[in-house]
Structure formats: C-alpha cells, structure tokens
Amino acid sequence: MNRTPETLAGILVALVLSWYAMVWTPASQQKDLLPYVDGETVYPRDRSGLAKQGAEVYRANGCYHCHSQQVRQGEVEYHLLLTRTGNNSEALIGALKDNDLMFVDSNGTEKKVDEAKIELSLFLNSDDLNATTKNPDKPEIQKARELLDQLKDEESREDVFLLAALAQEKDKAIARKFLGLPQTMKGEKSQRASIELAGSLTWDEAKSKLQALKNANASAMLEPRKANSDNVQAALWSDVDKGWGLRRSVARDYLFDMPAMLGDQRIGPDLAHIGERRSDAAWHYRHLYKPREIHEKSVMPPYTFLFNKRMLKEGEALGADAVTDNNGKSIEPGYEVTPKPFAHALVAYLLSLRQPDVVPEAPAPKQMATRPEKKTK
C-alpha cells in the first residue's frame, strides 16, 4: 500500500507539535512580561547603537557556545535518598552503619538504623509472605514474627511497609495485614518513592555514601538543594566581591534578547554580569586580541581579525585608540593595533551585560542583609 500521504501527514504533525512546544509556548510565557518600572528606574532597556550591533557580532562568532549568560545564585548541598533496598539486608545494614546514615522521616526527624525493620521489610518481599496463612510454623515466618514484636508502635510498622515498597513491592494487602496495619493508608507517608538518609552533604561526601549503598546492592540518588548553612552568607558575599552579581537570572533579564543567548557550554566564565565585573573597555580589547595576555592558560582563541595592525615608524607614538598591554605599551611590540568597528560593537555589547538588583521576582538573598566581618589572623 502507498503510505506516502500518512507519512507526510505524520511529519507535518510532528513539525507543528515541535513548533508549538519549542517556539510558541516559551514565547507565550514571556509575552506578558514588561520592563520593571520604579520611579526613574526602568529595567531592562532595549539595547541600541553599537551594543545592539555587538550582539550580532557575539552571535556570529559563536561566543554563546562557550559562555553562558545565566547566574544561578547560591551554594548547593546534596541529600541522599534511598530508592530501592535491594535483597542483601546484611550488606545494606553495614553500609548504613559504616557511613553514619539515618532514616529521615517526612517531619525531618532522624531515626537510627533498625536492623529489625530492614530484615522484616525484605521478608515482606519474599516468597514466605504468601505462606503466612498456609504454613505459619515455618522458621522464617516465626523469625519475622519475633522481629515484628520488637516494633511496638504503628509508626515503626509503617516504616517497615515503606522499606518493603522500596524493595519489590509484593502484595500490599497481605503485607499490611501481617504488620497489623489498616488496609487504608494514612496520609502520604507510605506512598513516598524514597527515604532520605542524609542531608546537607558536600559533593564528595554524597558521592562516597552513594557508592557505599550501590556496593550493598541498593539503589539511591542524590537530590541537589539550595544550601542553608552558616557558610552561605560568606559565599554569597564572595561572589559579589568577584563581580558575579547579587542575584540569580530571571526571565525578565532577557526581555529584549532575540534570541536569548543563554549558552550551551561553560568553557568560559559566565557573562551575565560581565559589564559590571569588567567595566574597562581597554581590558576587553586586550582580552579579545590576546586572551593569554590576561589568562596564561586561557583556551579562548584570539580574535585578531577584529583589529587593524600596522607597523610603527621609529619614534612614532601610539594613537589614543591603540590596544596596549598592562604596562601601557603596544600589545604587539613595533606595531599599532587598533579595533575595527566590529570590535567596538562587540565590546559595547559586553559592557551592556549587567543584571542590577532591581527586579522584584529575584531580590538579593536575605542572607546578604549584613556583610559578615572578616576574620583577622
């Protein structure tokens, strides 16, 4: 049969859906955004003149591939979540104890590792569970009942039911009946898909504990969250001192950018606030012409084609527009290097990249209300 019409129709539908999801939906989400106005403050303003031309130079030379323009404010800490217990209770108990891991319930309460809970949860996923009514005298069932007797309160038995669900999740009705729990679940506690074992971990700590659980044949995952530690304030002020800005990027920052060049790699530093961090135009010309003059190990290619270069006559002075090194001498000894119009435009664009702390949806973090005192040695 001739499937050409159906194939073409399918391709057309796929294109329409792709356009709807990737073009129309993001545009509609931003269409109601307007510049923020507070008295004489208007942000953002559309770029004009050289800066607008410079955005095209930036895009045409692929700068957006290596540099992002999106600040993510704050430190990150990691929380370790157990998603599957595996079938080796001894190894799992050892991994939990050796790494000082504890169960953290939905209220944030930490509970020590209970061997009885883990062993009982694995029993609930064994073939012996279905034999509880047919052959209650089996040794495995008797041992499970002894473990169950150690768990006096209903909350502890709910913990067991949750752990069992992280293993294989056999018959829930039989499991709840064996545990003496009502068949209707209370709240959402027993419906969680994971159990938190540790929080506020650094990357190295989290990675080490995660590997220990994997070695025990269990499955776990790391969930990054915004840090809330005593070091956050100092870290945020450190970012400000380095010129990274007071806040995170938001959609309003890109209101007049068509397209918004957020970047798809992070080879170079983020440029969202580069106009404030590096406000000296001479520095940018020097960096564009000889990146390694600024950073010895820079991987940025030199953009010499954006400059004119001519040999100097003996005793001739440099022009006011000449690119110089840190000592005020020509960046190319014996030559005068001057920016072409494209270089002027590109630098104007870079200097226009600023994210002031004015938008209401992204105020400076509360931790930055007061700068911490620097410790003296």
CATH number for position 289: 1.10.760.10
| pLDDT score, position 188 | 41
| Shared domain check, 320 and 268 | yes
Residue 170 belongs to some domain of the structure:
yes
| pLDDT score, position 239 | 60
Residue at a domain's end among 162, 195, 226: 226
Instruction: Return d(Cα 128, Cα 150) in angstroms, integer.
Output: 20
| Shared domain check, 233 and 217 | no
| Shared domain check, 187 and 114 | yes
Instruction: Return d(Cα 159, Cα 352) in angstroms, integer.
Output: 56
| pLDDT score, position 36 | 87
pTM of the model: 0.54
Instruction: Return d(Cα 30, Cα 364) in angstroms, integer.
Output: 22
| pLDDT score, position 164 | 67
**Are the CB atoms for 296 and 290 separated by under 8 Å?**
no
3-state helix, strand, coil in the chain (%, to 5): 45, 10, 45
The pair of three-digit structure tokens given for residue 57, joined into one six-digit string = 């130079």
Residue 245 belongs to some domain of the structure:
yes
CA 250 to chain centre: 15
| pLDDT score, position 314 | 87
**Are the CB atoms for 331 and 265 separated by under 8 Å?**
no
| Shared domain check, 182 and 250 | no
Instruction: Return d(Cα 156, Cα 7) in angstroms, integer.
Output: 58
Residue 374 belongs to some domain of the structure:
no
| Shared domain check, 258 and 189 | no
The pair of three-digit structure tokens given for residue 327, joined into one six-digit string = 């000592």
Query: 136 preceded by cis ω (within 30°)?
Result: no
Residue 21 belongs to some domain of the structure:
no
Number of separate domains in the chain: 2
163 closest CA partner among 115, 131, 206: 115
| pLDDT score, position 269 | 86
Instruction: Return d(Cα 11, Cα 376) in angstroms, integer.
Output: 67
Residue 238 belongs to some domain of the structure:
yes
**Are the CB atoms for 302 and 291 separated by under 8 Å?**
yes
| Shared domain check, 210 and 114 | yes
| Shared domain check, 234 and 222 | no
Residue at a domain's end among 179, 200, 226: 226
| pLDDT score, position 371 | 56
| Shared domain check, 287 and 236 | yes
Residue 34 belongs to some domain of the structure:
no
Averages of pLDDT over runs of 10 residues in the chain (377 residues) are: 83 90 73 82 90 94 89 70 76 79 67 71 69 68 74 70 62 70 56 69 83 84 65 56 73 87 82 91 95 88 95 89 90 94 96 88 61 51
* Residue range(s) defining the domain that contains residue 272: 43-75+229-368
| Shared domain check, 47 and 101 | no
Instruction: Tell me how far apart the 2 most distant CA atoms of the chain are, in Å.
Output: 106
Dihedral angle sign, alpha carbons of residues 132, 135, 136, 138? negative
| Shared domain check, 304 and 171 | no
| Shared domain check, 236 and 212 | no
Cα end-to-end distance, the chain, whole Å: 84
| Shared domain check, 257 and 270 | yes
Residue at a domain's end among 168, 203, 226: 226
**Are the CB atoms for 77 and 200 separated by under 8 Å?**
yes
Residue type, 303: Y
Residue 244 belongs to some domain of the structure:
yes
- Strand 195-201 relative to strand 219-226: parallel, antiparallel, unpaired? unpaired
Residue 164 belongs to some domain of the structure:
yes
